Amino acid sequence: MAHGHSGHEHRAPHGIWPSQSPTEPGPRGIVTERGASGVADPAIVSWKLNTTAETGTSSDAEIDSYVRDIAADVLVVAYDDPHVYVQATGVPSHPVGPFVDGNPSYPSDVDGTYRIARMPTVQVGDRSATGLGPIGIMVNGVPFFDARDGHSFEDEGVWNQNAVVVRASGFDAARGHPAPIGQVQPPMLVPGSYHYHQAAVSLLEQLDPGNTGKRHSPLIGFAFDSFPVYGPYGYSNPNDGTSAIKQLVSSYRARSELETTGRTSLPEGEMLPESLHGPVVGKEFPLGYYIEDFVYAEGSGDLNAFNGRFAATPEYPDGTFAYYLTLDAIESIVSETPSTYPDIVGPDYYGVVDTANTRPGAMIQIPDDVTYYLPEPAYEAGLMAAVLTLVCSRYSSTRQSNLGEHPKAAIGERLKSGHSARSRPGH
């Protein structure tokens, strides 16, 4: 079986960041969560910023040899009135790997820059389908994909493989895996884009340790229509932030009738010609092997066809549309196959998509007048100037000579020496 995601592009969008050092006088400032400007927008303050020089880690020696030189999580958050700009390596601070299905790639520095609208817009009319490749970004800077693995039965594009089922053996304990970037070159590992298709259990444990439904899940990411993504637990009454907590349930159901009729029709009821029938439901191709094995049943769960709902949340007490991770009703986030379709978002976006985030290798221009954000404790540690100077220098003509062979590995020394480059709010 071909490895998942081969045959389509996984290059992250990149940013053209201002070249002026953020510590120099100019129109830009640096603010904190408790700064003079009162920054409280969840789209700004929710990111898992690396302020301690953490790098990637793996229990697999070969993978660790790559990721230990890569700064983990999000490196920079900047914003202006319409947007938030996030720069990340795509390597998380939780352990990655091993990937025991023969994955030919390792989690690499994708040098991604993403743009999130501060006021997302509901799409009017036809909705945009989630495509292959990244459809959003978690707060640790790791992209997430939709349920598909990029392959279909007999390559017809009709019965599309469900990555959570088909690639289950290849996910690590965090429920992520890398997709190769470029040409595979066995037996060597090639750079890959690490990502999630489902409940990012290690990230959830970092953000909200031990939560099995005692409290509302944290905000864990943003889809590329800029609406937030939450973990599996929300308020039982979506309009009441004081109501009981419950595990939110997908409104998609498995089409158990296919076990009798065979895979002869699509979820919407369209009958297929015999040449496009799928394989018989059984041990080799169990129910759920393809995303077309599921159908939306309005009102059967808590969430709509986009796997979300309008609701109050701790970050948005007045309410927002949000997506939620969906788990099997009888399983928990520590089980072997925790997710249930459509897992995070899908199969369509609810809002207007910023296509700069979805075009492989797109260049996103960061305005000169952005403001950089860092939580208050990092100011007290005097670390901000080191991080920003490093990232801004990556886009200068001398970035390689300044930063060496492994630019992100330099972040540790820059951070350690950052106390001499202390920046204060508004300066």
Q: What is the pLDDT of residue 385?
A: 55
Per DSSP, the residues of 373-413 read: E--HHHHHHT-HHHHHHHHHHTTSTTHHHHH-SSGGGGHHH
Q: What is the pLDDT of residue 405?
A: 37
Q: How far apart are CA 427 and CA 424, in angstroms?
A: 6
Q: Given a cut of 80, is residue 403 above it in pLDDT?
A: no
Average pLDDT over residues 264-277: 96
Average pLDDT over residues 288-301: 94
Confidence grade of residue 418 (pLDDT, cut at 50, 70, 90): very low
Average pLDDT over residues 143-156: 94
Q: Given a cut of 60, is residue 290 above it in pLDDT?
A: yes
Mean pLDDT of the chain: 83
Short-list 43, 204, 171, 189, CA closest to 118:
43
Q: What percent of the chain has pLDDT over 90?
A: 65
Q: What is the pLDDT of residue 371?
A: 85
Contact 411/387 with Cβ under 8 angstroms? Answer: yes
Amino acid at 426: G
Residue 133 CB-half CA count within 13 A = 17
Q: What is the pLDDT of residue 172?
A: 94
Q: How far apart are CA 390 and CA 75, in angstroms?
A: 10
Token pair of 78, please?
Answer: 């900047």
Residue with tokens 């860092």: 374
Segment 303-361, tens digit of pLDDT? 999 999 999 999 999 999 999 999 875 444 445 545 689 999 989 999 999 999 998 88
Give strand pairing partners of 134.
145
Q: What is the pLDDT of residue 188?
A: 87
Q: Given a cut of 90, is residue 394 above it in pLDDT?
A: no
Average pLDDT over residues 142-167: 94
Q: What is the pLDDT of residue 67?
A: 96
Locate the domains of the chain by residue range. 14-226+351-421
Residue with tokens 């919407």: 268
For the whole model, what pTM was predicted? 0.87
Largest CA distance in the chain: 71
- Between the two ends of the chain, the Cα-to-Cα distance in Å is 56
Specify the length of the chain in residues: 427
Average pLDDT over residues 250-277: 95
Q: What is the pLDDT of residue 338?
A: 57
Average pLDDT over residues 77-106: 94
Token pair of 86, please?
Answer: 């996030």
Average pLDDT over residues 72-93: 94
Which comes out higher in pLDDT, residue 410 or 113?
113
Which comes out higher in pLDDT, residue 336 or 120?
120
Q: Given a cut of 80, is residue 273 above it in pLDDT?
A: yes
Q: What is the pLDDT of residue 1?
A: 52
Average pLDDT over residues 80-85: 95
Q: What is the pLDDT of residue 333?
A: 47
Segment 6-41, tens digit of pLDDT? 545 567 888 888 875 444 433 345 554 444 345 789
Segment 155-213, tens digit of pLDDT? 999 999 999 989 888 999 999 999 999 788 788 899 999 999 998 999 999 999 999 89
Contact 329/376 with Cβ under 8 angstroms? Answer: no
Q: Which residues contact 161 (CB under 8 A, 6 or more apart)?
A: 4, 148, 149, 150, 151, 152, 153, 289, 290, 291
Q: How far apart are CA 354 and CA 306, in angstroms?
A: 17
Amino acid at 383: L
